[in-house]
A = this chain, B = another copy of it.
């Protein structure tokens, strides 16, 4: 009967369940470290917000905005909260895994090892940077473990996943770099004098 809500709709509701926001702010919140697992452009968020509005899951109040249009501050409704609660415990549909770096790895045997090594070094830097971010956020959270039933529990749990994910990725990149360096100099071992 009801038009099915796409996953992004629930992502929006998850943000609104924490704080009333404009469409613009929702996009911004999704870019923050603990909520980086779902992103969308503001244009899509706006269109999805209209759908949620039509379904009665969100409402809004207006305020004077900076641009020509008025600013709309959205909030989740009772039905919205109920729909979100129900959705949360439904088993997630199996998602097709698509990972460009791993695909490149699958075809890596065809390419130049030195260039590959460079690519993985770049990837590694990215993961290390994120890991540092996550670890800082984790440290500030661990001091007092947030109780279930408070939004900070969600923050911590999602962050924990991001943290161990980045660790796994960084480890894998290091492993790759090591493997590639072995194929670059398969002769004997590291007894080269490293002059120049």
CA distance A99 to B93 in the complex (A): 10
Interface size on A, residues (CB 8 A): 73
Return chain B residues, CB-CB under 8 Å to A37. Answer: 97-99, 102-103, 106
**Cβ–Cβ contact A89 & B115, under 8 A:** yes
Given contacts A97-B39, A167-B168, contact A153 B34 (CB under 8 A): no
Q: Which residues of the other chain, B, contact A101 by a CB distance below 8 angstroms?
A: 92
Nearest CB of chain B from residue A134's CB, rounded to whole Å: 13
Residues A64-108 near B (CB distance < 8 A): 81, 84-85, 87-93, 95-108
Number of identical monomers bound together in the oligomeric complex: 2
Instruction: Decide yes or no whether A122 CB sits under 8 A from chain B.
Output: yes
Residue in contact with A14 in the complex, picked from B11, B103, B112, B155, CB distance below 8 Å? B103
A35 part of interface (Cβ distance < 8 Å): yes
Contact with B along A32-73 (1 / 0, CB 8 A): 001111111000000000000000000000000000000000
Interface, chain A (partner B; CB < 8 A): 7, 10-11, 13-14, 17, 34-40, 81, 84-85, 87-93, 95-113, 115-116, 118-119, 122-123, 147-155, 157-158, 160-162, 164-165, 167-168, 171-172, 175-176, 179-180, 183
